[in-house]
Chain A
Amino acid sequence: MALRLSRRKIAEYVADELLAGNKAVTSELAAYLIETRRQREVELITRDIEDALARKGVVIADIASAHELTDVSRSAITSFLKDKVDAKKVHLRETVEPSLLGGVRINVSGSEMDGTLRRKITKLKAAKV
């Protein structure tokens, strides 16, 4: 039976391996979690890995937009995030949500920056008395 490691150690290890180019580490991680019956911690460990990567200068940002992002938009977002969180490398995890109408919503390490038209309409509706 495999040794039970803390989430922080697992995250640090996986982050280092990913930065080293070892993409197979994800399969190892999955096997380890199944073997140690810690499947329910997948979300938490994933977040820990992202945090570990962020500390090492690699930021994974969740980007939600109404339309597929153009290269110009991606470039602008990447540039913005590099300045904002002082990252060396930014990886965008994109999702399309037509209900956002336009603009972009960025989630990085638990913080959210919402620049969507949906958000503006919601703010407009919140102005009701």
Chain B
Amino acid sequence: MILTQLASTTESSNNVFVALGIDWKLLILQIVAFLILVWLLGKYVYPWLMKSVDERQDAIEAGAKAAEEAKLKAEKAEKDVAALLAEARKEAKDIVSTAKDEATAAVEAAESKAVGRAKKIVESAHEQIEKDVIAAKKTLHNETIDLVAEATEKILGSSVDSKIDQKVVTQAIKEVQ
């Protein structure tokens, strides 16, 4: 029965294959060829392919690692740059502050010097004025004396006669006595 069924099945299968247009011999041959192909691929192509894939993966992992390292380096560099910038800003601030202090000190020194110099100039001017006034007074005094002497001389030269001279002589002798 079973054999009958099998036979019938086989027969029916054959009939199916036939119906489907499949040649089971060719199918077996194709299966064998496929298996050979699979074996060849597994023996020669797959290892090479896997090796290539592994290498590729290693390269990618190395690249990722390098990228990570680069990222870390970049972050570190960024931090360093930030620190350097902060330090530079601090230094710049210090420099500016120092420059301001120095400028203020220089301005104050210049002001002090200018004030001192102005004071000296004023004092010198006062001294010069006083000297000029004294010199002018002396000149006036001397010129007055010259004028008085000259005028007295002229007046006496024309006004003193023997009579007046006698009084002058008498007076002079009294003064000497």
Q: Which residues of A are at the interface with B, using a C-beta cutoff of 8 A?
A: 65-70, 72-73, 76-77, 80, 83, 98, 101-104, 113, 115-117, 121, 124-125, 127-129
Contacts and interface: CB of A to CB of B under 8 A. Distances in A.
A116 B168 CA distance: 8
B58 interface: no
B173 A104 contact: yes
Given A66-B165, A124-B148, A102 B173 contact: no
Nearest to A101: B156
Contacts of B168: 102-104, 115, 117
Interface in B118-177: 138, 141-142, 145-146, 148-149, 152-153, 156-157, 160-162, 164-166, 168-173, 175-177
Contacts, number: 79
Nearest to B154: A101
Nearest to A80: B173
B172 A115 contact: yes
Contacts of A113: 176
A13 to B, nearest CB: 34
A128 B150 CA distance: 14
A121 B74 CA distance: 109
Nearest to B176: A113
Contacts of B172: 103-104, 115-116
A67 B165 contact: yes
